Each structure stands twice: as structure tokens, then as C-alpha cells.
Structure 1
Amino acid sequence: MVNSANEYQLPRGIDIASLPKVSLHDHLDGGVRPQTIIELADAIGFDVPESDADRLADWFLNQCDAGNLVDYLKTFDLSTAVMQTKEGLTRIAREFVEDLVLDGVVYGEIRWAPEQHLGRGLSLDETVEAVQDGIEQAIDDAERAGSSILVGQLITAMRHADRSLEIAELAVRHRDRGVVGFDIAGAEAGFPASRHRLAFDYLATEHFPVTVHAGEADGIDSINSALFDGRALRLGHGVRLAEDVTVERSDDDGIYVSLGPVAQWVKDREIALELSPSSNLQTGAIAQWGTDLVDHPFDLLYQLGFKNTINVDNRTMSGTSLTREMSLLADAFAYDLDDLEVFQQNAASAAFLPLEDREELAEVIAAGFDAARG
């Protein structure tokens, strides 16, 4: 984890933390504060591996460096265990938004799976309402403190389960009460979007926006299913889209590539990639290209004109923030302020908001980056 404040700065002392940001891929159960886990676990008599917040944070990092998605996801058993009551969900959602504000986020989408929070008697609708209560409390607190943030819920169905149509109906039911979109998540390999075609058909008839986890733990076929079966407007991660990019030759003048049909489709239609660099390293999503951030195909996709966005995926599991992810990418690929603004404008244009709101968001980002330029 980056500890030095200097590593969060660009040349000329530009503070990345102060820049306006858009967070599109940020899991609620992946961003619970370690101290909150300890306190809520104690209240329900649930054992935790560490009783000190710093040590628990380190435990998450160590467990999540397994190099594969399946083991990475096992850590969520701990965070979801303390998210089974209205009080717990509301507190965690409130703190989550507070952390977004501290990270400079001006628009955030929080994704989470209500079906995983029914263990203590809550209904699906009650879980969504509890999370919305916490979001609204934090927004109100931010406004009183002089900050401004918009937040929407992304309701997620677990791709290995059989409740996606029910969860899709839940999302649409709350579309005017905080929910802005739908997602499927969980173990990707062996569970393509096509298994949930009924849910996606329903969402299409309701004109409800969809993002799909694809191209993280599986390849081009999974991405294709997300686009075809899921009608995905964004790709959750999507990093393995780079498998559909072929390097034809490389010389002193540059690298020459050709795009396969899926990559070409994603590029031509400006389908946003919700890339999460640190998480992609932890889960082994970029293993075929290397094990360091400089090996991540983020820059290749950017140079080829894809609509890259920067995301944290899971703040607690990766010990990270958007500020940190932007800093790491700037260091790895020598990005400057203009590059970082491109990624934030990409995210603003891909947000599940009405057009007019996206245009206002773009103006907020432009103004914030212009101010940083002095």
C-alpha cells in the first residue's frame, strides 16, 4: 500500500486527492472499514481473524493476493457477515459515501448484491432501503460540510445463483429511489451472462441500464456474452479484452496491432471498460501479460482509443482508493493531468445518469482539473 503523500502528487505539486473523480466500479461489501467490521462482528458474536483494525486491513490484503478470483472472493464471507441487519447496512453505506467524499469523488455508483444480505430476516426491498438511508445520510452530511456528491446504487445479482430475474425486478422497482443500474458479479468462469438472459431481456424492455462483470476471470467469450446476452453498456473490468488485440509487428516507429471483432465492437461503440488495476493484479486477471502494474494492458487499450476508466473494485481488499489508483497509473505509464482528466471524463460520460446530468458532471470535472492547472 502506498504510504507516502508525495506518491499521490503529480509534477508541480498537483494533489491527486483534490481532483474531482467518478467511481463506477466500487463494491459496498468490498469497502467496509476494518474497524466497522470488528465492531459489528462483536455485536453479533461473529469471530474475526484480527481484533485490531490495522492488522485486519493487512489480513485482507494478504488473503486477497492469492492470484485468482475464487480465493479473492472468499474474503467477502467476512464483510457480508456483518451486513445482515438494517443498522449494519445503513452504517456501512453511510461510511462508504463518507470515504468517497474524502477521496474526491463527485459521482459514485455503489454496487452490491441484496440477495447476500438476507441472513437475519431482511427482505430484498428492506436491504435496498437500508443502504439508501445510509447513502442519503452521508450526502446530507457532506452538503452541510460544504462538499457535493451524487451517489447511485447498482443492484447486483450473483451469477452462480438463480435469482437474477427477481433481482432485476427489484432494481427496476427502486429505479426512482436511488437505484441507477444492474450488474451480475461473482465467479465468472463457467457462469456466462447467457445464463441470465431472462433477466437481461426484462431489463431491456424496461430500458434499464446494465453493466456486466466480464473479462476478469474469463476471456473473450465471456465479454461477448456480456455484450450480446446482457446488452451491457459497460464492461466490469473488461481487461481481458486485450486478448482480442494482436500485435502484428513492433519497430522503432511503434507497435502495429489489429483488433478482433469483439475488441473492434467495444472500441467503435465506446463501451466503457471499468478497469481496476490493483485488483486485476491481485486476482491474476493480467497474468498472461505479467505480474507488475507496468504489464497491465491499461495503457495499450488507452493508446488504441478504448474508453478506459479507473476504478478501485474493492477498497478494503486492495487497501486502495481512486486517488491511489490514479497515482499508481501515473507512475507506471507517465500519465499527466490531461491523461487523468480523460479517464474521469470517460467515466462521467459512461455514468448511469440522464444526459443532462452527465453533461453537468463533465463540467464539474473540467472545472476541477482546470483549477489544478492554475
Structure 2
Amino acid sequence: MTSQTTKQTTQQTAGQPLNTPTADQIRRAPKVLLHDHLDGGLRPATIVELARETGYENLPETDADKLGIWFREAADSGSLERYLETFAHTCAVMQTRDALFRVAAECAEDLAEDGVVYAEVRYAPEQHLENGLTLEEVVEAVNDGFREGERRARANGHRIRVGALLTAMRHAARALEIAELANRYRDTGVVGFDIAGAEAGFPPTRHLDAFEYLKRENNHFTIHAGEAFGLPSIWQALQWCGADRLGHGVRIIDDIEVDETDGSVKLGRLAAYVRDKRIPLEMCPTSNLQTGAATSYADHPFGLLRKLQFRVTVNTDNRLMSGTSMSREFEHLIGAFGYTLDDMLWTTVNAMKSAFIPFDERLAMISDVIKPGYAELKSQWLFQ
């Protein structure tokens, strides 16, 4: 009996699907992240230290381990509004250049350690002005931090490229200003624009001037849509605003009918448009469970959307609040849907195709980094 046959027999005996990736393979697999918030991914220990340094006294816990648990429990409420409240604490300690630099550098390091080779990390510059920084100083501090994190990652044997997405808050009135900022820094680390915040009552159409400006400048933008709010949010983001990608977009499932008797599927006009146009969906499974957009991993729309060949991507949203990483997100999906390394590769290529960097650079990442990385993992498997 060959070693491969032995491995397969062991897996079958254990009731595991053939070719199910191990935790180590998942971590080492090259991954691409398009939807991750800088202020949602701080290390708990960093928050405690920065709070001490800046005199911020409102942390619910001063022990790093207990603070990490508090963030996850507070975010696990089933409410997007309650979920968003947790950011008051992280933003409070991100009001100086040194703090922004540190958080950005650690973000790049942590993602690289988890096997992420390309990431687009978003943040709202307008939320970091309380101590007198200008918008430009915020952007430059974060960009410098990402470059430092990339250097540290290389020194530790990892490679990663991080691009910034500048976010405007949908309840505020600075979207055009932030869009212009994103355009000024588009050749120095900023790759696009986003709007975020509570969807209900704050439609993306409030910021049409920003989106029209970005389109005139041939710049890229994504819009949080179809997370807590439904199909109208997605329709407005696409048809009125012209978004390149949908942040979450999980509620597109509301425009898909599945016949319970024969399993046949019928797509509504909007769902068909999203699939036909290959509009990327920045899916964040754990976050979606926390905010009530899905009830379990097994019931998450990701499974059906993947089967129907929508351009789904896997993302973390807020690693601190969700207690997650890219590896953990893939572990959940693999456990729920029996995915293999081929499925991981498919979604990773989807994400890289959808990134906001030039086509030739995306193609090089796919051809030179992602596909060889998965091929190596699969070849190692065959000869174990």
C-alpha cells in the first residue's frame, strides 16, 4: 500500500473528505485579503500599552487577554450598530503618528505571519484627528507603518504587499474630501476608496459627489453594501454609485430562490447582474454571523454563492472583534462545506483578480506567488 493510499484510507476511516487541508496547510497557503479594517485588527496588548501611553482611561479591561475576550463578546451581539460601538476604544488610542505607525506595521506583520501575501486594509482618516493630526499626516503615518511591516515580514521570511483603502464614514459629510485624499496618494500606497458605517438611514447615494469624482479620475472604490441592509443597498451601490466591488454583499442571497423540492435555483435580475458582471463580493463569514447577516457557517450564503460561481472572496473584516484571521475563516468554510485546497485557490485567485492594483501586477501575483504556492502544498501532500 502506498503512502498516499494509506493517507486516503486514514481520512476515509476518520470520516474526513479526501484532500481536506490541514491547519498547517491552510496557514501556509498564500492568501489574499480585500476587506480588513485597520482599527478592527489591533493586538489587545498594543491597545493596553497605547492607552497607558496616551492617558486613555476608558478601556473596559486593562489585562490584554481579558480585553481581547471583551471585544469578541461585545461584538457578538447580532447587531451591526452594537458591533460598531467597539471601535470607540481602538480609535481612541490611534490619534498620534507613532500609534498609527505602530498599528499599521503590526497589522502587516500579523497578516504576513498568517500567510497573507496581498492585503487591502481600510481605515477612515477622519477618525484620527482628535490630537491635531491632519488628514495627510494620518495617511502618511499609516503608509509608512505598512512599509515598515512589510520590511519586518521579509526579515522573518514572509512576503506581503499591503495597499490602503481610505474610508469615509457614511453618516458624516466628508466623502468628497476623503475621495480627493485617496486620489492624491494613489501612487504612494493608497489603492482605493470606501464608505463604511451603519447602512440603515445612510444610503451610499448621499455621497454621489465623491463617487462621481472618483470615476472621473479613473480611480477604484468599493462600498459597504448588503450587510445589515438588503437589496436596495446593493442596487444603489452598483447602479447609482458604480462600485467596483461590494463590501460584504451577503444579502444578494435575498434575490436568489431555491426550490425546496428539487433544489433548482432561480436568480433575480439583480443577482444575475452581479454574477454576470463578475462583481466581487467581499464576504466576511464570522463578522456576518456576529452582525446577524447569517445564522451559522453552514447556512452562510457563501456556500450557495460559491456553487453558483459568483465571484466570492474570503475576508476577515475585523480580526480583533471577530477573534479571527484569514486561516480561521478558511477553516470555518472548509468545515462547513468540505472545501479543498483547490477551493482555497479558486477564492484566492478571485480576490487577486479583484484587487485595486494594476492588471499586470495582479497577474504576476497569481502566476508567480499564488499558484506556485498552492502547487507546492499539493505536491508535498502527494509525497507525505
- Measured against the shorter chain, the TM-score band is over 0.9
Residue 372 (structure 1) aligned with residue 377 (structure 2): yes
Give ranges in structure 2 of 5+ residues lacking alignment.
1-18, 380-384
Over residues 115-147 of structure 1, what are the superposed CA-to-partner deviations in whole Å (9 max), with x where a residue is unaligned? 000000000000000001101111122223332
Q: CA deviation at 1:21?
A: 0.4
2:29 corresponds to which residue?
Answer: 19
Q: CA deviation at 1:337?
A: 1.0
Residue 321 (structure 1) aligned with residue 306 (structure 2): no
Give the 4+ runs in structure 1 shifted more than 6 A.
none
DSSP-derived class of the 2:191 partner: strand
Over residues 53-99 of structure 1, what are the superposed CA-to-partner deviations in whole Å (9 max), with x where a residue is unaligned? 11001000110011010000000000000001001000000000000
1:361 corresponds to which residue?
Answer: 365
2:45 corresponds to which residue?
Answer: 35
- How far, CA to CA, are the matches of 1:95 and 1:230 in structure 2? 34
The TM-score, its normalising length taken from structure 2, stands at 0.92
> What aligned pairs does 1:1-374 form with structure 2 within 5 A after superposition?
10-11=20-21, 15-47=25-57, 48-251=59-262, 255-286=263-294, 291-363=295-367, 364-374=369-379
The TM-score, its normalising length taken from structure 1, stands at 0.94
- How far, CA to CA, are the matches of 2:306 and 2:224 in structure 1? 20
Give the letter aligned to residue 374 of structure 2.
F
Over residues 339-367 of structure 1, what are the superposed CA-to-partner deviations in whole Å (9 max), with x where a residue is unaligned? 11111010010011101011011121111
The root-mean-square deviation of aligned C-alpha atoms, in Å, is 1.4
Pair 1:175–1:285, CA change in 2 (3 A): same
- How far, CA to CA, are the matches of 1:324 and 1:296 in structure 2? 15
Give the letter aligned to residue 240 of structure 2.
D
1:5 corresponds to which residue?
Answer: none
- How far, CA to CA, are the matches of 1:124 and 1:88 in structure 2? 15
Pair 1:333–1:120, CA change in 2 (3 A): same
Percent sequence identity over aligned pairs: 53
Max Rg structure? 2
Over residues 182-201 of structure 1, what are the superposed CA-to-partner deviations in whole Å (9 max), with x where a residue is unaligned? 00000011111111000000
- How far, CA to CA, are the matches of 2:300 and 2:150 in structure 1? 35
- How far, CA to CA, are the matches of 1:230 and 1:237 in structure 2? 16
Is the contact made by 1:135 and 1:151 (CA closer than 8 Å) also made in structure 2? yes
Over residues 232-258 of structure 1, what are the superposed CA-to-partner deviations in whole Å (9 max), with x where a residue is unaligned? 11100000000010124532xxx2111
Over residues 23-63 of structure 1, what are the superposed CA-to-partner deviations in whole Å (9 max), with x where a residue is unaligned? 10000000011000000011121121111111001000110
Over residues 206-226 of structure 1, what are the superposed CA-to-partner deviations in whole Å (9 max), with x where a residue is unaligned? 000011000001010000111
Is the contact made by 1:68 and 1:285 (CA closer than 8 Å) also made in structure 2? no
Q: CA deviation at 1:11?
A: 4.6
